Amino acid sequence: MIIPTLITAMVLSTGAPQSDDDPRAAIEGYFQAHAFGNGELIKQVFTPDARIMFIEGGQFRQWTTEDFAKRFQQPASDEYRRVRRIERLDVSGTVASAVLTLNYPQVLFTDHMSLLKIEGQWKIVSKVFLADRRDAGQEAIRETLQDWSLSFEPRKIIGNVYYVGSNQISSFLIVTPAGHILLDTGHIKMLPQVEANIEKLGFKVKDVKMLLNSHSHFDHCGGFAEFKRQTGAKVIASKLDGDAMMRGGKGDFYWGDDLAYEPVTPDRIVSDGERIELDGVSLTAHVTPGHTKGCTSWSMRVNEEGKDYDVLFVCGLTASLYKLTNNDQYPNIVEDVRSTLRSLRATHADVMLAPHGFYFDLEGKASRQKAGAPNPFIDPSELVRHVSEMEKEFEEALQAQERQR
């Protein structure tokens, strides 16, 4: 990890950033000043006569270094949700310019900085920052959900595995003679669509005996409480995501309380490698943290036309949007993501499925699904490709954030 623990970062923040031949030392000090509310660090990384200007909506404000430092009194309560990145850094001799983004829940700041190397140490001599307010954040989420929740023709994927979700939010039905297993319900408004899809395929909603969770975000388990009331299905989840589900998604290390849902208590907690079974059909839980702390991938073997196939329902792997360094709400996120990626890279899957359709080309494969033709969902190389894409995205995001080893 970049900074092993928040304590280490706090120790580093008590003094000036180490001087080296890279202007990142000053930028890192500036990021630390924001993270820990340390005005003294502002004074150390800016020159005393630095020009600090803010422009928004035609309004202009300017501070001296001393006045700007007074704005940093203590860490913000939502610090764990704040992501800072170096978007561009150009160096020419003893002069440098940088473009930084400070991505906060309600506003995105863009900083344009000029730096000089003075007596062997880089200093910030000017900073102009702009703000992009996000007052319509909830509306944007609603629009995204609407786009991702369009009706989609339910279908058989392979063997006894069926797709019953929307165009982009997945829900999978695993069928057995003694009852069925449902993996995710989508959000609460999507639940009627999932139930209708189950019935459309000729199965009964009331026959669902087990309700598995991929992860504890509202767009995947927001309908669990209602579905459990309707069917009596046993809710099964990992320990950490089960805890999140009992809180109704509140206290999420990235979303905070923004995307809450009706709490639900799991009937069974599964650990890594544990199996659940129903009438001879077995699924194995693989705890693959990073997207959430208890993100759970599920694997099973199916048979189609006399041949066995390994199916993996991979949990979300996206972590690049999160705060990856100095995250006191999830200090081991970098280790978790890398461990998950290593584990999945070593896993074999003939069929890779995921919580969102765009991760496994649901719409494209569905369009190629023809009677008598090869099953387009069978692709033994897809998991490795997906892991490689997610790994590249993650490492680039990590390098762009506030401190790099």
Q: Examine the residue annotation and report whether 322 is marked as an active-site residue of this protein.
A: yes
Q: Examine the residue annotation and report whether 219 is marked as an active-site residue of this protein.
A: yes
Q: Examine the residue annotation and report whether 112 is marked as an active-site residue of this protein.
A: no
Q: Examine the residue annotation and report whether 286 is marked as an active-site residue of this protein.
A: no
Which listed residue (180, 187, 356, 386) is catalytic? 356
Which listed residue (261, 291, 330, 386) is catalytic? 291
Q: Examine the residue annotation and report whether 348 is marked as an active-site residue of this protein.
A: no
Query: E strands along 73-204, which residues?
Result: 83-92, 95-103, 107-118, 121-133, 155-158, 161-163, 172-176, 179-183
From residue 331, alpha-carbon distances to 253, 328, 335 in Å are 10, 5, 9
Sheet of 351-353, strands arranged across: 275-278, 281-287, 296-304, 307-313, 351-353
Q: Examine the residue annotation and report whether 187 is marked as an active-site residue of this protein.
A: no
CA atoms within 13 A on the CB side of 165: 31
- Residue 99, classed as helix, strand or coil, is strand
Looking at residue 358, the DSSP 8-state letter turns out to be G
- Residue 107, classed as helix, strand or coil, is strand
From residue 68, alpha-carbon distances to 39, 49, 51, 63, 186 in Å are 8, 11, 10, 6, 46
For residues 375 and 175, give the distance between their C-alpha atoms in angstroms, rounded to a whole number: 19
Which listed residue (215, 309, 330, 350) is catalytic? 215
Sign of the alpha-carbon torsion through 40, 45, 46, 47: positive
Which listed residue (309, 322, 330, 359) is catalytic? 322
Q: Examine the residue annotation and report whether 220 is marked as an active-site residue of this protein.
A: yes
Which listed residue (34, 187, 220, 286) is catalytic? 220
Which listed residue (187, 217, 286, 386) is catalytic? 217
DSSP secondary structure of 269-330: EE-TT-EEEETTEEEEEEE--SSSTT-EEEEEEEEETTEEEEEEEPPP---TTS--SS-TTS
Task: List residues with catalytic annotation.
Answer: 215, 217, 219-220, 291, 322, 356
